[in-house]
Amino acid sequence: MKTSCIKTFLLISIFSFLSASLSIAQEKVYTDARELTMVGKAKPIPQFYHRVDTAKYNTMPLGVKRLFTNSAGLAIVFKTNSNSISARWSTLNQRKSNNMTGIVYKGLDLYIKRNNEWVFAGVGRPADNPTTAAIVSNMEDGEKECLLYLSLYDEVKSLEIGVDEGSYIAAMESPFRKKVVIYGSSILQGASASRPGMAYPARMARKLGVDFINLGLSGNGKMEPEVVDMIAGIEADAYILDCAPNPSPEQITERTTYLVETIRKNHPQVPIVMIQSIVRETGNFDVKAREVVAGQNRNFKAEYDKLVAAGVKDLYYIEGNLIGSDHEGTTDGIHPNDLGFDRMLQVIQPFVADILKKYGI
């Protein structure tokens, strides 16, 4: 008798849950994100969720072209008076990560403006493909300005944003001024932050109010001439080169001059900021890894000094202990965790803010 009652109770509970879930789903009205406003993109291109038009720049290395289909740094801005926000989205479902959360890899990350600051509101956890998920519920009445970051390491194929039936959702102007291109490695792309909005260019954008264009390329930020030509073709107010972690020390010596001089030729007066590589924690005990990073930083700084001596103006260099000295700033000895990114920002952000202010950006 007791077993029968328990089974009946469980069936009723499951039925009630499913009915409630179905009711909630039916009460949402979804809008294609392509009808809203995208930020974090270098320029409009036919592929809405790609960072770069890889068909136009088809001579770039294959790995680079694939990574530029990842939506790192892209975000949708909109306003709504809904009390809840949901999303349904699909990704290409590329390889799974062994050093990142599913949320940062192929999920969503929502911020809502409160008291003139962007405040974390909730995440879209990837499950199925496509996934439908509630991001935030039971909010107070009134209009909200929303910033929804897309996944950092997968290609978004479709995205719809859901609001309560009877509520509105509308495009809004970009909340960010100007445009700063950042080119670099997996660290720049966002590995291994906990969620997309924690990647350091996204955090700087929210803090400084500037549209930072994330051109991070996991393992592939190697300054190839074809990639340099593409970067130099982007109209931007400043350029940040965080690309020391991927090339070999020899490649840094061979390629840095072309990178900087090509940008300078196309943009004679904009500031260009070079950033040394973080010290990889793998080198804490691995002597070879330690020597490689030391060589990368030594050669990057040497190339900077040569360029300045040759008369290149408006060129800057950031160096220092970027992730701390307690060996706790990475996820895997290579990529920063949220603590590591926070420490990076403590060094990089004030420097960048001063440079941008100097140039009226």
Same domain, 286 and 235: yes
Same domain flag for 95 and 189: no
Same domain flag for 252 and 141: no
Say whether both 183 and 117 belong to one domain. no
- DSSP reduced 3-state for 224: coil
Does residue 187 sit in the same domain as residue 164?
no
> Do 159 and 291 sit in the same domain of this protein?
no
Q: What is the pTM of this model?
A: 0.92
In the listed set 156, 171, 186, which residue is the last one of a domain according to the structure? 171
- Residue 20 inside a domain? The answer is no
Who contacts 160 (Cβ-Cβ below 8 Å, separation ≥6)?
30, 31, 32, 33, 87, 88, 89
Per-residue model confidence (pLDDT) at position 13: 44
User: How far apart, in whole angstroms, are the C-alpha atoms of residue 292 and residue 11?
Assistant: 61
Three-class SS state of 136: strand
**Amino acid making up residue 145:** E
- As for how many domains the chain has, the answer is 2
* Closest alpha carbon to 245 in 299, 317, 302: 299
CA dist 30 and 332 (Å) reads 38
CATH of the domain at 318: 3.40.50.1110
Residue 17 lies in a domain: no
- Of 108, 113, 117, whose CA–CA distance to 156 is shortest? 108
Characterise 173 by phi-psi region: left (phi > 0), alpha (psi -120 to 50), beta (else): beta
Beta-bridge mates of residue 144: 80
Residue 14 lies in a domain: no
Residues 229 and 315 both lie in one domain: yes
- What CATH number does the domain containing 84 carry? 2.60.120.260
List the pLDDT tens digit at each of the 361 positions of the chain: 444 444 444 444 444 444 334 444 448 999 999 999 999 999 999 999 999 999 999 999 999 999 999 999 999 999 999 999 999 999 997 667 888 999 999 999 999 999 999 999 999 999 989 999 999 999 999 999 999 999 999 999 999 999 999 999 999 999 999 999 999 999 999 999 999 999 999 999 999 999 999 999 999 999 999 999 999 999 999 999 999 999 999 999 999 999 999 999 999 999 999 999 999 999 999 999 999 999 999 999 999 999 999 999 999 999 999 999 999 999 999 999 999 999 999 999 999 999 999 999 9
Q: Which residue carries 């929502």 as its tokens?
A: 110
Same domain? For 156 and 214 the reply is: no
Q: Are residues 196 and 161 in the same domain?
A: no
| Distance, CA of 323 to CA of 336 (rounded, Å) | 8
Domain limits for position 34: 29-171
For residues 33 and 126, state if they share a domain.
Answer: yes
**Rounded CA separation 247/277 (Å):** 11
Residue 185 to residue 191: CA distance in whole angstroms: 9
Residue that terminates a domain, selected from 171, 189, 219:
171
Q: Do 47 and 137 lie in a common domain?
A: yes
Q: Are residues 217 and 130 in the same domain?
A: no
How close are the terminal C-alpha atoms of the chain, in Å?
74
Tell which of 145, 171, 197 closes a domain. 171
